[in-house]
Amino acid sequence: MEQQCINVIQTMAPCLTSSGVDPGLAQFISILIGVVLVALFPLVLVILLIWMERKVAARVQDRLGPNRVGPFGLFQNIADALKLIIKEDITPAGADRTIFNLAPIIATLSTTMMWAVIPFSPVNIGVDLSIGVLYFTAIGSIGTLAIMMAGWSSNNKYALLGAFRVVAALVSYEVPMVLALLVPVMIAGTLSMQSLVVAQQGMWFIVPAFVSALLFYISNLAETGRAPFDLIEAESELVAGYNIEYSGMKFGLFMANEFMHAFTANLLFAVIFLGGWSGPGATEVPLLGFIYLFLKTGALYIPSLILRATVPRVRIDQMMGFNWKFLVPVAIVNVVVVAFLLQVTKALGIAPVPGETDFLANLPQALVLFVGNLLTIAVALEMIRRFGRQARSETSGAAVVIAEAHDVPSAAH
């Protein structure tokens, strides 16, 4: 009996059936309630996220941020949402109305649906799909489609240009992201999100898959349109990018989705590389696991907010070059190095048996992989340093030529 009380959602179907409800209906009701809980959670959370983002950005810029509506300005975003709801909604003449109206809904849908496979605690997960990792990468790329729909249907040149740029950048950064995901999958031997967390009971994957974690973090910054990759809304060049023609609540959905997506990306990072809900006592008290997961996510999310408020934006050619000429080669080398080292540790007999939850048993293999990762980073950094030096010397040469042509003293003289 006690066992049944741990997870109300999972035991609801048998309970309802035993009290005389049709089994199919009981199953449906339990699924429906689970879905509503999981899907509403990010939508409610986003109100808090936007407040947090504004507060952090304000502190970085030596301002106070929202502080009038409610305690610490907490209700500011509810007021903003009300304002957006009663604002006039303008669909520009010549826009493709159906696609124009669908785009914000699909954007939100793609982010919300990622939450279906996130394990919140040992027993609380929307659904533990056996292909969870593939599922969230696939669902995540629907967001790219929504941006293209928004940009194309607006019938606005800025919007279209922004959408083209964003889609080119997003599909590019998906390649290192998925390549980075191969490594945890290889170590854990599973694609299910819950099993990935269970596989990290002995050792968080950030140690044996350090390069992957970095790649995943960087490409997620780009995927979610965060600085320094926030070309999605290059205000100064593209006015606002793909959502320029949107107003009222449709714009609000796009904005809320952006914050939600950024948080979701960090949540996935915490699940895949930082052990998700794992921590002392999490298996006994599921609520603790939930708290651990969100503490870990917060520890990642707040630095990303500070990063956003600090760094300047890169150019689109630099962004694409950085991806295809640095991240993708590094990701490929990383997969090969890890695959090789996994075979080596297996041959040496220091690989832990699958499902080993002891820290010390996992340590030798993790250390070997960590050293391999550090070597990969060292080589990659050395190469990018040489490349950068070469690029700088070429550029300064060009600067001298231009300066001489214009007969002005250049900085190099």
Partner 1 sequence: MSVVNEWAFIGVFMALAWVFPATPLLVSWIFRPRRANAIKMQTYECGVETVGDTWVQFKVQYYIYGLVFLVFDVELIFLFPWAMAYNQLDFFAFAAGLLFIFLLTDALIYAWRKNALEWA
| Contact with partner 1 (CB under 8 A) among 332, 350, 361, 377 | 332
Nearer to partner 1, 190 or 362 (CB): 190
Shortest reach from residue 11's CB to partner 1, in Å = 12
Query: In sequence order, what DSSP letters do the residues of 209-252 get, joined into one string?
Result: THHHHHHHHHHHHHHTT-TTSGGGG-HHHHTTGGGTT--HHHHH
Q: Does 196 bind partner 1 (CB under 8 A)?
A: no
Q: Does 152 bind partner 1 (CB under 8 A)?
A: yes
Q: Does 92 bind partner 1 (CB under 8 A)?
A: yes
The single-letter code of the amino acid at 370 is F
| Contact with partner 1 (CB under 8 A) among 86, 405, 408, 411 | 86
Shortest reach from residue 365's CB to partner 1, in Å = 11
Q: Does 369 bind partner 1 (CB under 8 A)?
A: no
Both structure tokens of 157:
């040149």
Residues 32-51 contacting partner 1, CB under 8 A: 32, 34-36, 38-40, 43
Per-position b or e across 138-167, b if 16+ CB within 10 A of its CB: ebbeebbebbbbbbbbbbbebbbbbbbbbb
Stretch that binds partner 1, among 112-120, 208-216, 263-271, 358-366 (CB under 8 A): 112-120
Contact call for residues 175 and 118 (beta carbons, < 8 A): no
Residues 227-246 contacting partner 1, CB under 8 A: 239, 244-245
Both structure tokens of 326:
């640095």
Angle between helical axes of 248-273 and 76-85 (0-180°, round to 10): 140
Q: Give the separation between CA 115 and CA 45, rounded to whole angstroms.
A: 12
Q: Does 349 bind partner 1 (CB under 8 A)?
A: no
Nearer to partner 1, 5 or 44 (CB): 44
3-class DSSP assignment, residue 331: helix
Both structure tokens of 126:
């929307």
Residues 175-194 contacting partner 1, CB under 8 A: 175, 178-179, 182-183, 185-186, 189-191
- Between the two ends of the chain, the Cα-to-Cα distance in Å is 83
Q: Does 171 bind partner 1 (CB under 8 A)?
A: yes
Contacts of the segment 138-141: beta carbons below 8 A, 24+ positions apart: 139/110, 139/113, 139/114, 140/110, 140/111, 140/114, 140/223, 141/110, 141/170, 141/171, 141/174
Q: Does 361 bind partner 1 (CB under 8 A)?
A: no
| Contact with partner 1 (CB under 8 A) among 23, 281, 303, 329 | 329
Contact call for residues 186 and 342 (beta carbons, < 8 A): yes
Q: Give the separation between CA 29 and CA 32, rounded to whole angstroms.
A: 5
Shortest reach from residue 378's CB to partner 1, in Å = 20
- The shares of helix, strand and coil residues in the chain, as percent rounded to the nearest 5, are 75, 0, 25
Nearer to partner 1, 59 or 96 (CB): 96
Q: Does 85 bind partner 1 (CB under 8 A)?
A: yes
Widest Cα–Cα separation across the chain? 92
Per-residue binding string, partner 1, 287-326, x by CB under 8 A, is -----------------------------xx--xx--xx-
Nearer to partner 1, 48 or 306 (CB): 48
Stretch that binds partner 1, among 81-89, 201-209, 224-232, 375-383 (CB under 8 A): 81-89
Nearer to partner 1, 60 or 102 (CB): 102
Q: Does 397 bind partner 1 (CB under 8 A)?
A: no
- Contacts with partner 1 by CB under 8 A: the residue count is 87
Contact call for residues 374 and 210 (beta carbons, < 8 A): yes
| Contact with partner 1 (CB under 8 A) among 99, 134, 309, 361 | 134
